[in-house]
Amino acid sequence: MKRVGILALQGDFEAHRKALELAGGAETMEVRTAGDLASVDGLVIPGGESSTMLKLLDIEQLFDPLKEFGHRKPILGTCAGAILLARGVSNPPQASLGLMDISVERNGYGRQLDSRVTEITPEEEFLRRAGGGKMEAVFIRAPIIKTVRDGVTVLARYRGAPVLVEQGRHMAATFHPELTGDPRVHRWFLDKL
């Protein structure tokens, strides 16, 4: 059975473990060291505070191993995790793994999306493969995806801006699919392992 890791330095990693177990088909494991990373087939980077996560990645000397991991294995980044996957980050600018050709603005929706539960309609391509209809989306101080380059597929939008994207083996969501009990995003990711 494939094993999927959840980066467990900071943020809501426990909710992702439950969501992955609900989606089924893979073992889960919390990842805190480069050694842990070596024993997983894919990784989830959870929501939290991306600047804090960056500091912890630095302290744990995990930044380079994570980047190298992403050159070979799939990563799903949600919210702060999406910020870490992006190629460009603003408000303020900060380091990132640069594994997906998207640029993001931290807290880009301003106060409106400090915390909001809403409904989004995934794109046709997503619905065709994943089934179901509308998706509940929880936004918490969410980044906004400002640009997507060639090679990035938009799987869902909210108010015109992409909120769920994939590029090759990687996926990013600016909302929190681990909080709503809808397994479709995690299943989509597990299919990449």
What residues line the site for ligand GLN (CB under 6 A)?
A: 47-50, 79-80, 83, 106-107, 140-141
Q: How far apart, in whole angstroms, are the C-alpha atoms of residue 180 and residue 193? A: 23
For the CB of residue 40, give the shortest distance to ligand GLN in the complex, in Å.
21
For ligand GLN, the closer CB: 176 or 187: 176
Query: Does the active-site annotation cover 178?
Result: yes
Other C-beta atoms within 10 Å of 157: how many? 16
For ligand GLN, the closer CB: 25 or 146: 146
Longest CA pairwise span in the chain (Å): 43
Query: Does the active-site annotation cover 170?
Result: no
Q: What are phi and psi of 131, to 5 degrees?
A: 75, -175
Query: Does the active-site annotation cover 79?
Result: yes
Which residue is catalytic, options 79, 105, 166, 186? 79
For ligand GLN, the closer CB: 23 or 173: 173
CA angle 46-169-182, nearest 5°? 50
Q: How far apart, in whole angstroms, are the C-alpha atoms of residue 100 and residue 134? A: 26
Q: How far apart, in whole angstroms, are the C-alpha atoms of residue 138 and residue 118? A: 6
For the CB of residue 107, give the shortest distance to ligand GLN in the complex, in Å.
5
For the CB of residue 58, give the shortest distance to ligand GLN in the complex, in Å.
15
Supply the residues annotated as catalytic: 79, 176, 178
